[in-house]
């Protein structure tokens, strides 16, 4: 919408932008130019010696200009509603101190760390400097079945699916936990759960179900006690679970 150079908008602009010494003699309508506009159709100020594009303003301080947020269909007045890849200006100090995803790490720190300030499970736990939200505490980022908040109390890593206290499992195990191999026996946790073997016991597994590379520690072990390390038995084609093979 074009605002005409009438007395009211001129007065309003002067009140909003009280620049010392600014001359407004060209802002008054004349017989030759009765409808010269203060703002052009693109939203830019159209005054002599002054050009300011309001579309480049970042209303909520999230580092994304209003024009970009309009194109992204995000809320230009919500500092936590934006597309990270669209940040085209410097976020405000207030935004840097905030914690949009509630993981306990400030937005500014996440930017420095290269983690996503909108992903509550993408963080460096050692950089948690503010209290995580209740929602984050109830989540299970690593899928080990222990809520993040409980892992914080236990001193275990909420991002490591193999570091947890089994007695504190209160949620269904899934995600990264199923594809991990916590005991290093070469059988993923998910497969061991389906087999009914213990994913935390490196000598309790079904040999034919090894679906990932066993750990170096497992290769040095001797599960069947026959004096031959598991790794050597694998190379020999013998059964590391059969003491007579």
Higher pLDDT, 26 or 130: 130
The values of phi and psi at residue 4, to 5°, are -75, 160
Question: C-alpha distances in angstroms, 244 versus 157, 221, 226, 228, 233?
Answer: 40, 16, 7, 11, 12
The values of phi and psi at residue 8, to 5°, are -65, -55
- pLDDT tops 50 at residue 82: yes
Q: Which of 14-23, 48-57, 219-228 has the highest mean pLDDT?
A: 219-228
Confidence of residue 52 (pLDDT cuts 50, 70, 90): low
The values of phi and psi at residue 144, to 5°, are -85, 0
Which percentage of the chain shows pLDDT scores above 70? Answer: 78
| CB contact at 8 A, 66 and 57 | yes
Higher pLDDT, 7 or 74: 74
């Amino acid at each position: 919408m074009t605002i005409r150079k009438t007395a009211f908008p001129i007065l309003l602009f002067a009140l909003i932008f009280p620049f010392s010494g600014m001359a407004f003699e060209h802002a008054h309508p004349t017989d030759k130019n009765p409808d010269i506009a203060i703002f052009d159709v693109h939203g830019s100020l159209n005054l002599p010696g002054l050009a300011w594009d309001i579309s480049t303003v970042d209303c909520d301080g999230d580092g994304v200009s209003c024009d970009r947020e309009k194109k992204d269909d995000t809320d230009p007045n919500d500092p936590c509603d934006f597309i990270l890849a669209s940040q085209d200006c410097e976020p405000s100090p207030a935004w840097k101190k905030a914690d949009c995803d509630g993981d306990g790490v400030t937005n500014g720190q996440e930017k420095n760390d290269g983690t996503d300030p909108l992903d509550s499970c993408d963080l460096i736990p050692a950089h948690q400097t503010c209290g995580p939200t209740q929602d984050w505490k109830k989540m299970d980022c690593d899928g080990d079945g222990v809520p993040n908040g409980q892992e914080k109390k236990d001193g275990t890593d909420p991002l490591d699916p193999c570091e947890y206290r089994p007695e504190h499992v209160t949620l269904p195990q899934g995600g990264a936990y199923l594809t991990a191999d916590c005991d290093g026996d070469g059988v993923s946790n998910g497969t061991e759960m389906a087999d009914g073997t213990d994913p935390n016991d490196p000598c309790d597994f079904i040999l034919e179900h090894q679906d990932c590379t066993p750990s170096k520690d497992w290769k040095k072990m001797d599960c069947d006690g026959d004096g031959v390390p598991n790794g050597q038995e694998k190379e020999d084609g013998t059964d590391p679970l059969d003491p007579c093979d």
